[in-house]
């Protein structure tokens, strides 16, 4: 039933791409079976590289072919005339970056003998295509999710209500925070040449809350929906905008992807165990690949490089694991030092988001150059001042709730324990009312394009 629902969900967008996910599932299932039976190391490597080649090949064709072709044309003038065509008309299958990494992690874990291969094709297919997290994560590991399909589940009321609560908070993040922020950010980025540096800074600020509300909201909806069915998915966000340095930010942002790159790329490359040169090399590799994973555009690569530059001083001075706990844990307010650290980290993050959002690298640099011009001191002028003020207030209230709930898995997780029943239901209905009243114009989830 789960497979049927998942394939229906994915095929509803474009049934033709069901063949891709089924093909990827078959390849990695058979490779896993082969690795389980094969002891010859050379043959095991062939099986592993078959899986890597197929999955990365699918990504290469559907996501990066036109990017590489355009880049080649830019480097070699006249090549386009020789080749006789511009680019291929290829539609990017939604979620392909997510499920290919999910199946790859299974094959690599089986190859390293960290995981026993499954003989249950139905369970494996459900693991690859599980609809709540299929199109935008979290990117699950077989060691966590696959085993859950192999055990009988029973309905647990407390688990279901917890899932509904997380879904509600996810909808609030997406519909109220992200979609409203998007309306202002989109207008400012689309006409950035018409605005002062102060307005452009706020445009980047609105995008920062758009992408956080959008992606963490989707993750909350996915995790909560899975919990309704008795499944536990990994946490994907842990209040990243309350981080005290960039290293902490990357431990709290898109956790399933960050840990994937750590386990399957950074550590195999040597991690931070080698000399200074190796540390710098590995840091740039992981951030550049992470940027490239997000999209076939130089803006994402520059975004990754900029985050590597942010991260390196912490790594080289061995301060990248200074802040492992929750900021101001057990306290209502942060210290002045913590507040300053969060402000600096958030500001650096907002500036980096400009490259993530800009149409191209030139647009990003022009946007940032205006921010760092004297016009940053002018009074900002928004496309819709009334809406901007409303969104500011909503973001402020959102941050208050997130701050008060920062020690929980999601901000309102313990509402049932902290509030008496009448107040609790009043809070739930208030959130629902705000969703309906202040819901912005529907915006596509940003990470669907990845």
Tens digit of pLDDT for each residue in 315-365? Answer: 999 999 999 999 999 999 999 999 999 999 999 999 999 999 999 999 999
Mean pLDDT of the chain: 89
Q: What residues contact residue 356 under an 8 Å CB cut-off, 6+ apart?
A: 207, 211, 294, 299, 300, 303
3-state helix, strand, coil in the chain (%, to 5): 70, 0, 30
294 assigned to active site: yes
Query: Is 253 inside any structural domain?
Result: no
* Same-domain pairing of 73 and 163: no
In angstroms, the CA 385 to CA 437 distance is 18
Whole-Å CA distances, 67 to 29, 58, 71, 95, 100: 30, 14, 6, 18, 19
Query: Is 376 inside any structural domain?
Result: yes
Residue 82 has pLDDT above 60, yes or no: no
Query: Is 68 inside any structural domain?
Result: yes
In angstroms, the CA 305 to CA 316 distance is 16
* Same-domain pairing of 349 and 211: yes
Q: How confident is the model over 193-205, as a mean pLDDT?
A: 95
In angstroms, the CA 27 to CA 57 distance is 13
Tens digit of pLDDT for each residue in 165-196? Answer: 999 999 999 999 999 999 999 999 999 999 99
Query: Is 289 inside any structural domain?
Result: no
- Could you identify the residue written with the tokens 């980096």? 352
* Same-domain pairing of 103 and 237: no
- Predicted local confidence at residue 88, as pLDDT: 60
**Which is the catalytic residue, given 151, 254, 294, 323?**
294
* Same-domain pairing of 130 and 184: no
Tens digit of pLDDT for each residue in 25-68? Answer: 999 999 999 999 988 999 999 999 999 999 998 888 777 776 66
* Same-domain pairing of 123 and 166: no
* Same-domain pairing of 225 and 339: yes
Could you say which of 97, 125, 150 is where a domain stops? 150
* Same-domain pairing of 184 and 118: no
- Predicted local confidence at residue 70, as pLDDT: 61
Does the global pTM surpass 0.85? yes
| CA angle, 234 then 235 then 239, to 5° | 170
* Same-domain pairing of 436 and 369: yes
* Same-domain pairing of 433 and 375: yes
Residue 104 has pLDDT above 90, yes or no: yes
* Same-domain pairing of 26 and 125: yes
Contact status, residue 253 vs residue 221, Cβ threshold 8 Å: no
Domain count of the fold of the chain? 2
State the residue range of the domain holding 403.
Answer: 158-244+323-449
Q: How confident is the model at residue 415 (pLDDT cuts 50, 70, 90)?
A: confident
* Same-domain pairing of 144 and 168: no
Whole-Å CA distances, 352 to 148, 364, 365: 38, 10, 11
Query: Is 112 inside any structural domain?
Result: yes
């Amino acid at each position: 039933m789960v497979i049927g629902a998942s394939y229906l969900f994915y095929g509803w967008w474009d049934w033709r791409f069901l063949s891709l996910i089924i093909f990827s599932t078959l390849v990695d299932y058979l490779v896993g079976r082969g690795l389980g039976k094969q002891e010859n190391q050379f043959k095991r490597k062939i099986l592993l590289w078959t899986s890597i080649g197929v999955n990365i090949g699918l990504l290469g064709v559907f996501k990066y072919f036109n990017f590489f072709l355009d880049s080649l044309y830019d480097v070699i003038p006249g090549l386009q005339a020789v080749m006789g065509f511009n680019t291929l008309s290829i539609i990017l299958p939604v979620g392909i970056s997510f499920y290919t990494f999910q199946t790859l992690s299974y094959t690599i874990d089986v190859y390293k003998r960290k995981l026993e291969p499954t003989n249950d094709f139905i369970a494996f297919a459900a693991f690859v295509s599980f609809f709540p997290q299929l199109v935008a994560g979290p990117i699950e590991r077989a060691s966590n999710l696959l085993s859950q399909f192999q055990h009988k589940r029973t309905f647990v009321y407390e688990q279901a209500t917890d899932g509904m609560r997380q879904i509600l908070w996810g909808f609030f993040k997406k519909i109220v925070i992200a979609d409203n922020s998007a309306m202002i950010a989109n207008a400012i980025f689309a006409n950035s040449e018409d605005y002062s540096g102060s307005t452009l800074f706020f445009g980047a600020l609105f995008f920062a809350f758009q992408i956080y509300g959008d992606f963490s909201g989707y993750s909350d909806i996915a995790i909560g929906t899975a919990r309704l069915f008795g499944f536990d998915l990994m946490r994907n966000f842990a209040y990243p905008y309350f981080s005290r340095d960039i290293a902490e930010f990357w431990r709290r942002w898109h956790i399933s992807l960050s840990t994937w790159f750590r386990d399957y790329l950074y550590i195999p490359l040597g991690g931070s165990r080698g000399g200074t040169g190796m540390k710098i090399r590995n840091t740039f590799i992981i951030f550049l690949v992470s940027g490239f994973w997000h999209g076939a555009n130089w803006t994402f690569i520059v975004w990754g490089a900029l985050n590597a530059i942010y991260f390196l001083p912490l790594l080289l001075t061995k301060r990248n694991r200074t802040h492992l706990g929750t900021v101001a844990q057990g306290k209502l307010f942060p210290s002045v030092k913590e507040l300053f650290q969060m402000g600096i980290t958030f500001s650096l993050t907002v500036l980096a988001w400009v490259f993530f959002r800009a149409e191209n690298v030139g647009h990003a640099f022009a946007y940032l150059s205006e921010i760092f011009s004297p016009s940053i001191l002018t009074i900002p002028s928004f496309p819709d001042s009334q809406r901007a003020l409303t969104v500011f207030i909503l973001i402020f209230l959102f941050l208050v709730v997130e701050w008060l709930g920062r020690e929980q898995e999601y901000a309102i997780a313990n509402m049932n324990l902290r509030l008496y029943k009448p107040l609790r239901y009043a809070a739930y209905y208030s959130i629902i009312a705000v969703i309906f009243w202040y819901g912005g114009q529907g915006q596509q989830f940003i990470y669907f394009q990845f």
